[in-house]
Amino acid sequence: MTAIITSAPGKCILFGEHAVVYGHPAVAVAIDQRISIKIQPSASGMWLLDGGKLNMKRNPHIKGLIEKLWPVDQGAPPLSIHIEGNIPRSSGLGSSAALSVALAAALRGARGRWVTHAETVGQNRWAEGFGSLITASDAYGKSGGFFSTIEQDKMFLLTGEESVDTDENAILAHSVEAAAQNGRASPIDSSTCSHGGVIVISNQVQNDLTYLYKRSLKMPDSERFWHIHELELGIVPDDIYLVIGNTGINAPTGKQVAKVAQMLELTPDRMEEIETIGKIAQRGIDALMVGDYEAVGRAMTENQIMLKSIGVSHPQLDVLIKAAAPTCLGAKLTGAGGGGCMIALTRNPKLTSDAIELAGGRTYISKLGSLGLRVEKLSDQTFWSRS
Ligand code: MEV
């Protein structure tokens, strides 16, 4: 049977989690661990997930993407979705963003994209879709992908890999992440899992980095915006690795983000700690740009002190970080905290990994900045298309 297969990496935040929700700079790298999604038309006439009935309530990211990309009320048929991969869930490694990016790409591949004038390029050519340059669509609202008023005979359906766009996958993944986190989510996970490599997010344009696009989101307290950039690492020494240590403790991101929001509401002075995290992140960015990994490690360790101070670490994270310290350049929790994973930047991945395992963590080893979204297999025909 025809199938579409896509995959996306998980991510580790090197600096700036939580502070990024308030606009401060943060850096994330795509990791070697990935999620792969396979979709096929459902032979049973029902939505299926891994062979069983898809429970939309328990899978809000999938539900949100279906609503935005696969209009059942317009006759889009039910699909069978299959998920595989080695990114542990609710552990700070971006499993929901990777799933959302890969599914958004698969659904787009399954319907193709209507485009207009052949002589224009990229999003300027789209007649439908969601992207940073498309002001007529509201990826964060309920309005659906825009559809240009151009006559049907002046458009054609673009299919295959060309119809898939990393910006669109990232913006859609951000919108469903924001919905799942009660309206508070930065685009760091979604952009990193879509574009891969090293992503820097900040409320200011950072010189010397490759500019990608701007995102904004209305949050419960105010509207936030972020500039998203790519950081080219240059030549990373062969012996530099990230060792990821999983505590095995589930820590839903939304709960941790809400905890920080509540702390700031009750004691607004503590915004100073959030600002300090932003400053440390900026130092980390500077160190990464000149390839000074000792300084990168030091900034990570300082970042952890602040994360602990705002109350998002966990005793088991502290145990794993302490165990890694003697053999690494720097270590900290990664993602929302409260459980989940820590990371250690190290020149001795085996020694660091053994130390973390001995302290009770399950480890994964990754290089810094893996490939982003990949379309692994596309069908020659769309499964459904808007007409
Ligand atoms: C989660 O990976 C990172 C947080 O900063 C939340 C977010 O940026 O949306 C904790």
Residues 68-93: tens digit of each pLDDT: 999 999 999 999 999 999 999 989 99
Section 122-140 average pLDDT: 91
pLDDT at 368: 94
In short, whether 257's Cβ falls inside 6 Å of ligand 1 is yes
State residue 237's pLDDT score: 77
From the CA of 337, give the closest atom in ligand 1.
10
Distance between start and end Cα atoms, the chain: 24
Closest Cα to atom 9 of ligand 1: 185
Query: Is the CB of residue 97 below 6 angstroms from any atom belonging to ligand 1?
Result: no
User: Which ligand 1 atom is nearest residue 184's CA?
Assistant: 9
Ligand 1 close to Cβ of residue 253 (< 6 A): yes
pLDDT of residue 210: 96
Q: What spacing in Å lies between the alpha carbon of 75 and ligand 1's midpoint?
A: 36
Residue 225 reports pLDDT greater than 80? yes
**Residue 107 Rama label (left phi>0; alpha psi -120 to 50; beta):** alpha
Res 141: pLDDT: 85
Residue of minimum CA distance from atom 8 in ligand 1: 186
Confidence of residue 381 (pLDDT cuts 50, 70, 90): confident
pLDDT at 183 over 90: no
> Shortest CA distance to 5 belongs to which of 175, 129, 174, 161?
161
Joined tokens for residue 96: 């929901």
Q: What contacts 248, CB < 8 A, 6 or more positions away?
A: 339, 361, 362
Please give the model's pTM, rounded to 2 decimal places: 0.95
Q: Which amino acid does the sequence have at 152?
A: Q
3-state secondary structure of 230: strand
pLDDT reported for residue 247? 97
Confidence of residue 326 (pLDDT cuts 50, 70, 90): very high
Question: Which atom of ligand 1 lies at the shortest distance from residue 17's CA?
Answer: 5
Give residue 311's identity as a one-letter amino acid code. G
186 lines ligand 1 (CB under 6 A): yes
Q: Which residue among 15, 189, 317 is best mutated to probe the pocket of ligand 1, counting the most ligand atoms within 8 A of its Cβ? A: 189
Ligand 1 centroid, distance to 176 Cα (angstroms): 13
Q: Work out the average pLDDT over 245-263.
A: 93
Residue 387: the pLDDT is 78
- What is the per-residue pLDDT for 86? 94
In terms of Cα–Cα distance, which of 359, 256, 266, 214 is closest to 13? Answer: 256
pLDDT of residue 28 exceeding 90:
yes
Average pLDDT, integer, range 338-361: 98
The residue whose CA has the least distance to atom 10 of ligand 1 is 336
Atom of ligand 1 nearest to the CA of 92: 2
Supply the pLDDT for residue 1.
61
Closest CA to 101 of 167, 42, 160, 40: 167
265 closest CA partner among 215, 203, 222, 313 = 222
- Which residue out of 14, 21, 264 has the highest number of ligand 1 atoms within 8 Å of its CB and is therefore the one to mutate? 21
- Locate the ligand 1 atom nearest the alpha carbon of residue 28 and give its number: 2
Q: What pLDDT was estimated at residue 196? A: 98
For residues 196 and 30, give the distance between their C-alpha atoms in angstroms, rounded to a whole number.
Answer: 5
